Amino acid sequence: MGSLDGRVVLITGAGRGIGREEALFFAAEGAKIVVNDPGVEIDGTGGDAGVAAGVAEEIVARGGQAVASTDSVSDWEGARRMVATALDAFGDLHVVVNNAAIERNLGLADLGEDEFDDVVAVKLKGTFAVTRWAARHWRERHVAGDRVDRAVVNTSSGSGLLNPLPTQAAYASANAGVAALTTVAALELGRYGVRVNCVSPSMARTRLTLEVPGVGAEPPAGGFDPLHPSAVAPVAAFLAAADCPVTGQVLSVRGSTVTVNQGWSRGPSVHQAGPWTVAGLAAELGGVPLEDPFDKLAQALGGALGVTGRDQLQEMINAQLDRR
């Protein structure tokens, strides 16, 4: 008996990286999988139907059940079709795992409108679109008296939540949006028996992260590889299981460490009776400790860089910005 026996799961971006590992893990736990992936390059160009088909075939060869979908999550009708694919192939849909993403890593001054829009269309709009079509089906089933547990597992990133990585203005913005969407969707969809959570991988070795310092390093020989994308799959499976009580949470995953994020929690404040003056606010806020984004990035990458100094970080940022 697996933890996901009989669950029908749609996983976007399931052809490679974290999505592929989730698809294989979920199938091994007894789930029936819709493997969605148009097989595009990191920047969203191109396409290869064989990417999704290959993962589906691998699952079937291992004794599982899977079908391939090559629709793009950024296509409104494509999102509807992939939900319909689950219903046509397996008769129901219990879980959506929104994993699809692309990147256009450029400095903000070089990032074009289309490049920004493309990243947001896949990561943020795509998460919304697939969830929306699934929610329509689940609402209908709930009204009809169906009380089966349903779940959405979104995918954000340390870039956007914890690690302010330079050259990722679009990617970080979209991922922060996914985290916010998660909490809103959890509040709205709970009435239909739908739980909504989010995993936020950090330092996972995928096509999108190989240029992050330390990620591309050779994994240890034998034993557990904390940077392997498979480390995320059990966390997503936990959130997808019918007996999971968790909803509205964003869980950071770094190797075997799982951390409950608390969003933009309130820090120190200043107050006075009546409106502020510019001078008065400057004087009061001047004594309040503020987080430095350089320090946050240093804390996130210090182990990988071997240093946490501002000069070394600035050199890394400059090198990334000068690539174009």
Phi, psi of 310 (to 5 degrees): -65, -40
| Number of CB atoms found within 10 A of residue 219's CB | 12
Q: How many residues does the chain have?
A: 324
Q: Is 2 left (phi over 0), alpha (psi -120 to 50) or beta?
A: beta
Q: How far is CA 253 from the centre of its chain?
A: 11
To the query of whether residue 171 is one of the catalytic residues in this protein, the response is yes
Strand 8-12 and strand 32-36: the pairing is parallel
- 35, two tokens: 């493997």
Question: Is residue 246 exposed (0-12), middle (13-18) or buried (19+ Cβ within 10 Å)?
Answer: middle
Nearest to 310 by CA among 299, 320, 321: 299
Q: Is 108 left (phi over 0), alpha (psi -120 to 50) or beta?
A: alpha
The CA dihedral of 126, 257, 158, 189, to the nearest 10 degrees, is: 40
Residue in 8, 171, 179, 253 annotated catalytic? 171
Q: DSSP H helical segments within the chain, as ranges?
A: 17-28, 49-61, 76-90, 113-120, 126-143, 158-161, 169-189, 233-240, 278-285, 293-305, 310-321
Radius of gyration of the chain (CA): 21
| Number of CB atoms found within 10 A of residue 193's CB | 16
The three-state secondary structure class of 132 is helix
Query: Any idea which residues carry the catalytic annotation?
Result: 171
